[in-house]
Structure 1
């Protein structure tokens, strides 16, 4: 599988990444054997980028990912994790985690974007995973913590990057406006953009994407199925969009896009995975994958050919914005210059695809 470099760093990501939130028992239990089989299948498919976080299953995702990767050559894969939620003892456990993961709540999450919190979080992640270093560290959902995240956490990560302790730094969120601020105002190399550059939502064209191009930075796209509505060939009533029941007008629009995809010999899920690569700042698509069958399906969808004229047809029919770029990032724009003259970076159905 081809790799793309996060701009101005030495970190290279395979075009498809493995999102490890679901193996942290997001919404339902994932047997340990299924989690291991999913990671093995990802490796066999050529995937070498794996994303996790302390938040995912109160550390369970990190434990499982580290165990499954432990005997593989460390220089052959990239792991990212996140900071901002420290795991601390829960003085009042109720039995099951209240934040969507089916795990015991002996621990709880504590927001902390201080320098000490960042260092403690990374140390704990390395202990849980058994890794000797992390390749990428993201600030995780700092929506309500901009000042501390920008003034303390990001400079701390920049120090670690500049010392060669981590390879790249950034932030990951479900909104695009603050991610654009991180790109404009901080030392971030890359942002993990959840659900805001998809076939149904191109709002990142107003902020994140132009910011990435202006500063020669990179974007990892997650949540490309918008919580499920784009995950099947024919969308149906009752499917989810951004974690809620999809409104009828969005279901109708998704069906219209599916019809156009069929006319071009492809499917809605394949197009949903390919779509973020229409932008030259996209370096990777990461999908949450719970078991071997999901990995196999997603890898096949990612490898399938999506005709470039599909995007033109969708524009002409008003189904995507007219300013969606006509040339993809992952598919052959390695030497395209960014507006400042530097080369532009290239390039699941649930919130848990990465967030």
Structure 2
């Protein structure tokens, strides 16, 4: 069975969409950190499709629209997928035409700039412009993106605009995407969103988002788990790289190393466990994994398809490395 199969429903009141348990994160094909060629970006999406992935996520933020353009082109002649994009940042011509590079982590020319806008008009404009870049007639899921410093406007203006678009059938599900759990909890408690994309806060090393997941489970809101490798430390069989995009503290490396040792004792790799862990929670519908090459897609899909023995989770809990269920 392909790793992407085994769908889960996202939505309420008879609406919504079915998402694959393996989702594709589109930031890397927007040239996150370093460039990806057009050919490699297309081959990566093709590999995801062949692996059974049917949930594809992108955003205007990713490469100043490059991710949306590339993903839309790759999906143009396909059907049966679920496409997610985000609102909250409008792309406008850059005030300076110096020919510099984007300073927000994407290797693209800074001919555009991001402008925060969580107004109702901003939401509608954002979606319209996203469809233009995607070259597609519709998206399925619309997420309010990173409203950390704009919570009141996002709740009072962006959410009602998305709720109206959902009621009109323009989008099938709505929600919020963030790398913290406290603000999404407000959305879950104060609105009728369908889905939360939570990055990095429910992983093998960080379960701080558990209160949000518990509330989502109580209210029927589904979670798309992103950032499951905590920016890299969990992406290899032995812990390497960064933790939450910064050098990993020694205590975190030590904890990750002990987790890796227990995983190996049960013939499981650290990245395999990192992908499997969020899916154990009933609120989690899909694990969304960014990828920039077909090889990454193939490797992740193979690991996701392998069962993880319950005894491994039991040992991690008994060692105090995971909370007892």
Calculate the TM-score normalised by the size of structure 2: 0.96
1:308 aligns with 2:310: yes
2:52 corresponds to? 46
CA offset at residue 10 of structure 1? 2.7
Give a deviation string over 1:270-319, Cα, whole Å, max 9, x none: 00000001110000000000011111011111111111221111010001
Q: Is the 8 A contact 2:11 2:173 kept in 1?
A: no
1:56 aligns with 2:58: no
CA offset at residue 7 of structure 1? 4.2
Q: For residues 16 and 128 of structure 1, what CA distance do their matches in structure 2 show?
A: 24
Q: Is the 8 A contact 2:29 2:36 kept in 1?
A: yes
Gaps of 5+ in 2: none
1:14 corresponds to? 20
Give a deviation string over 1:187-246, Cα, whole Å, max 9, x none: 2110000000000000111x211210221111000000000000111114xx20000000
Classify the secondary structure of the residue corresponding to 2:35: coil
Q: For residues 201 and 156 of structure 1, what CA distance do their matches in structure 2 show?
A: 33
1:117 aligns with 2:122: yes
> Structure 1: which 4+ aligned runs deviate by more than 4 Å?
none
Match of residue 80, structure 1, among 80, 84, 97: 84
1:246 corresponds to? 248
Q: For residues 105 and 123 of structure 1, what CA distance do their matches in structure 2 show?
A: 22
Match of residue 97, structure 1, among 95, 98, 102: 102
Q: For residues 168 and 241 of structure 1, what CA distance do their matches in structure 2 show?
A: 31
Match of residue 224, structure 1, among 223, 228, 236: 228
Classify the secondary structure of the residue corresponding to 1:203: coil
1:189 corresponds to? 194
Q: For residues 210 and 49 of structure 1, what CA distance do their matches in structure 2 show?
A: 23
Gaps of 5+ in 1: 326-355
Alignment of 1:260-339 (within 5 A): 260-322=262-324, 325=325
Q: For residues 235 and 123 of structure 1, what CA distance do their matches in structure 2 show?
A: 42
Q: For residues 98 and 214 of structure 1, what CA distance do their matches in structure 2 show?
A: 40
How many residues were matched structurally? 318
